[in-house]
Amino acid sequence: MGLHHYFGHEDLLRCRFALSPAWETQEAVRTLSRPDRQAYHLPWLRGIRAAADGLDLRPLWLLMPHRGHSADFIGPPPSGPGVSFEEELALIRGTDPAAAHEDIRKSLACTPGALDSELGRSLLADPARAVRDLADLLERAWSVLIEPHWPRLRALLEADVLFHSRRLAAGGLQSLFDGLHPGLAWDAASLTLTIERPSHHERVLGGQGLLLMPSAFIWPGIAGGFDPPWQPTIVYPARGIGALWTPAQQNTPDALARLVGRARAEVLCALEEPASTTALAHRLGLAPSTVSAHLSVLQAAGLLISARHGHQVHYERTPLAIALTTGDPGR
């Protein structure tokens, strides 16, 4: 049993990572209806609750069964590594109504009574209108649930990609897949990657490779099973969500603040994972120029290293900085 992804030799060369603001939006919507997912997100929930109560999310929830097929077209795999929400929304709006009808039907069939419900019948009766209405609802959900927090979320997701890219470089696919999720198993002999689940499903990658996508909201689960024509994709929980909503100032040792100054100490402690200047500025509530100045001083003091990733520069603590921020001289 399980969801089996069968690799060919070309697929081994085409495993890659991507981030998706549209996926995070739909998973945030799902998290609002799933108490088992909310433990790490209570500060976020308190902050968005009033605004979220103004959204009628029932049409999206109806297409997100607890088990079974979720409608792929409302959270499609991203077309590239750095797509914007606007680009993804345009793809959703361009969904063929006939394809949307089948996708909606498959999803509704996974929830008892959904096919015969008034809302379910309405979605199926006019799939073109359903696509428009669902896209509009996702756009409103993005603006309320995710967009104000996207710099922080993106920093977490980018740090996860960097971490797992290093695992891939150091130990190959076996090391990469072993570290993504306990429900994921790689069989090197048969070139098969399996997600444990009670049903049976197979996907031959056919040279497309596999897209790996971290998510802040999918914990504790893992998702896959995108059917053709979608890119084969696995979505897994990003590392570090336990500290995602924790104000950095709460983690700043007084001794470190006396040594380098409170502001620089907070910048240093906020770098539990590699992050860009913009992401740090958003998290700390400071101007990017101020954060940039602190980063330059900390790097000159040997406490940070930097590396360019696409159009952004990510900063990371050195072993000395880790010892200073954790109080562990042996690290």
The DSSP-derived string for 281-303 is HHHHT--HHHHHHHHHHHHHTTS
Percent of the chain at pLDDT > 70 equals 96
Residue 93 in this model has a pLDDT that exceeds 70: yes
Q: Which amino acid is at 138?
A: L
Distance CA 69, CA 162 (A): 30
Distance CA 331, CA 327 (A): 9
Distance CA 241, CA 52 (A): 21
Distance CA 99, CA 91 (A): 13
Each residue's pLDDT tens digit, 191-228: 999 998 888 888 999 999 999 999 999 999 999 877 78
β-sheet bridge partners, residue 211:
16, 233
Cβ atoms of residues 110 and 69 within 8 Å? yes
Distance CA 120, CA 60 (A): 11
Name the nearest CA neighbour of 315 among 166, 155, 169: 155
CB atoms within 10 A of CB 110: 16
pLDDT category of residue 99 using cuts at 50, 70 and 90: very high
CA 132-138-140 angle, to 5 degrees, is 105
For the chain, the farthest-separated pair of C-alpha atoms sits apart, in whole angstroms, at 67
Residue 252 in this model has a pLDDT that exceeds 60: yes
Say what the pLDDT of residue 330 is.
46
Question: Average pLDDT, whole number, for the chain?
Answer: 90
Q: Among all chains, which residue has been given the structure tokens 């690799």?
A: 7
Residue 107 in this model has a pLDDT that exceeds 80: yes
Distance CA 159, CA 307 (A): 12
Dihedral sign of CA atoms 147, 15, 100, 105 in order: negative
Query: In degrees to the nearest 10, what's the CA dihedral of 270, 274, 279, 281?
Result: 40
Say what the pLDDT of residue 114 is.
95
Q: Among all chains, which residue has been given the structure tokens 């696509």?
A: 131
Domain architecture of the chain: domains with CATH:
2-241 (no CATH), 247-326 (1.10.10.10)
The DSSP code for 231 is: P
Name the nearest CA neighbour of 22 among 103, 109, 94, 84: 84
Distance CA 115, CA 270 (A): 48
Say what the pLDDT of residue 123 is.
97
Residue 86 in this model has a pLDDT that exceeds 60: yes
Q: Which of 66-75, 127-136, 233-242, 248-257 has the highest mean pLDDT?
A: 127-136
Distance CA 307, CA 314 (A): 5
Using DSSP, state whether 65 is helix, strand or coil.
coil
pLDDT category of residue 329 using cuts at 50, 70 and 90: very low
pLDDT category of residue 29 using cuts at 50, 70 and 90: very high
Q: Going edge to edge, which strands form the sheet with 211-215?
A: 16-17, 211-215, 233-237
pLDDT category of residue 331 using cuts at 50, 70 and 90: very low
